[in-house]
Structure 1
Amino acid sequence: MQRSLLQNKQVAIIGGGPVGLLLAVLLQQRGASVKVYERDAGPEARISGGTLDIHLDLGQPALAAAGLLEAFYQLARPTAMRLADERGQVLLEEPVDEATAYDRPEIDRADLRCLLLSGLAAGTVEWGQHFQALEKLPGNRFLLRFAGQPDQVADVVVGANGGRSRVRPYVTDTVPEYTGSFIIQGQIPAGAAKQLAFGALVSQGNLLARAEGKMLFVHTRADGTLNYYVSFRQPADWLSQRGLPADQPAQVVALLAEELSGWAPLYHEAFQATTEFALLPMHRLPPTPNRLVTEAITLIGDAAHVMPPFAGVGVNIGLLDALHLADNLTKGQFATVEAAIEAYERTMCDYASQAQAGTAQAELDMHSDLGTVELMAANHPD
């Protein structure tokens, strides 16, 4: 590991999502001693949510740096898109274009996890580790505490544990802010989806439907399972006032019937066929260099700059984080780990801020009163 700042150091990555795993792959390939601590029980643990599109100019270069891009292409798939209205009428179809098919291909979250794990040595990921706290030790080391598990010690700590990161308060006092949008996430099993008019509308691709400031977006997984997101604007205290439990599907279906009362029956049939829901208030964490410490600890991915999914760039920016941080720590450009981290954070704040600005505009556009056709015309006047 020539000129690496990580010689004889132990790196702890808190969080085994795509971003944390990619950082581990990159560092391990360059000779670093790395451990990933993930709260999921094991690699087969179920991962909720729709597919991820990995962009040619963002996430794909990071995968290429890890030597995983060709394997990614074998698992990912180009996906067609349909735009529809609240009546279930198709307004526009965007078929797969062979020339750009792999500019933003989709991959199931579980498949991406398997791909990244394949690049790691056995035992790199410690499963069932729910991070609780850390303490500074003499000699510039950190003591990591986990619920019901032995303490661990590390020289470098990276928080990659999502928008609710428990590592973040040790780095910055900036906290996520509610954006004003609320998402109800649902999942329809493949077998049920095939029997629905809604499944025919989605047509094994992605679907975007909008009307009166409400939005529905649908992903199709590789096995035909449909994951969808219904998004609308609500005040911050809306959920607590409603007292809506995600584990009471009938109540969630009733809410969707109320919120989307003017939408066609095929949409409501899909809601009724949903086997599970998640209630997700959207938050944004402005990336900031407002550090509380000048030590060997930092954040990547949603832990550093959580943003809503309306522009589809969150995981891509996180993968870019992993690449920049790995390069800074291993390519001999900096005298100390702390200097490498500081430079990474400055660069990250610049590109993540741009991504958040684009996401914020997309969020406003998606919830505007303009219909989908009018919105597209406004954004593409030519």
Structure 2
Amino acid sequence: MAGGKKKSSTAPSRFQKTLSSIWQDKHMVLFKTEYTLLVTAVLWFLEIAINIWVIQKVSYTEIDWKAYMDEVEGVINGTYDYTQLKGDTGPLVYPAGFVYIFTGLYYLTDHGHNIRLGQYVFAVFYLINLLLVMRIYHRTKKVPPYVFFFICCASYRIHSIFILRLFNDPVAMMLCFGAINLFLDGRWTLGCALYSLAVSVKMNVLLFAPGLLFLLLCEFGLWKTLPRLALCAVIQLVLGLPFLLVNPVGYVSRAFDLGRQFLFKWTVNWRFLPEDVFLNRYFHLALLLAHITTLLLFALKRWKRSGSSIWTILKDPSERKETAHKVNADQMVLILFTSNFIGMCFSRSLHYQFYVWYFHTLPYLLWSGGVKKLAHLLRVLILGLIELSWNTYPSTNYSSLSLHVCHLIILLCLWLNPNPASPSHRSENKAKSH
């Protein structure tokens, strides 16, 4: 007994072993995925200082904040007809969740006048969003830790969107990444509720919907998926009820305007086209057709298990002959991020604030599957070219073409990715984990 106590007292603690391991592998800390948590923790605390510095030293740029405040002020003053709500930049075109959240910000920032406080609130949103993104990457362990420097500290445009412009896009994406974390934890019902709340802030989050529907069908089958879809619909109905009771057509047509026309002068991705082509309805229909076709091809060929019928996922899991359609964390994130990315590739017009819609998913897509054959330097170069394209203002023929080339490379590599649901791919991943 005494000898045992003496041995335990001199044995190195778990903390000491961890430090020793880090010191021994110090040259690999930035490359080994097991150090993701350590590197992201350091970068997250560094981001606190960066956000404070940017807010204090870089000038705020007014674009939509005053318009947001005017729009919610109309609701506060008793106007519930969506067609009558507008700001400096035009009519209110966001769902009801936006109104409630920015009404809270309206009161918190002294009717929108205390912009500096608003910037610090959005800095908090940024840090929460970063935590949620880092947790997703930590769960999947797909991306080497050094890449996280490009995810946060190195992006001027993302900091600008969050804390120098105060757009509503970051709020929607923060809620969306929160929902994805819940899906990873197996809390599907709560995740669907949070996802619906994200859609109620800005409907761009619907780009994740095809992938989410596929995952729900894989996890629950058709009949058990329907209640979760109903929950999403009920949340939209409840949030929009005050406006639906006054002018239902006006609310739906404004808040969920799928045919909304964008101005050519703000486009990031189609600058090389003549303006009349950009505004042409047939061009928009062609993009929609390409979007739907690409999603169907990925669902049929890349997301489902090779050799199995797509109709299998409609059955209740207990009635299936096999459990191959159960997805792990890696497959789940890949499907959701790919769904959103396809939507971005075929978007009618990407504006500068839309960068946040997919920025945090790009490293994951670049380090997934078939893209592994690309050298680290090439993948970092693609990230850099995408960042440069989004930072070119106004956009040029070259920046738009460069963005499309990068998108095409990523999309092609995702298509060449070995089917993540195939038995060989799963056994290969299992072997690597051992």
Shorter chain as normaliser: what TM range?
Answer: 0.3 to 0.5
TM-score of the pair, normalised by structure 1: 0.33
Larger radius of gyration: 2
**Structure with higher RCO (Cα < 8 A, 6+ apart):** 1
Q: Which has the higher helix share?
A: 2
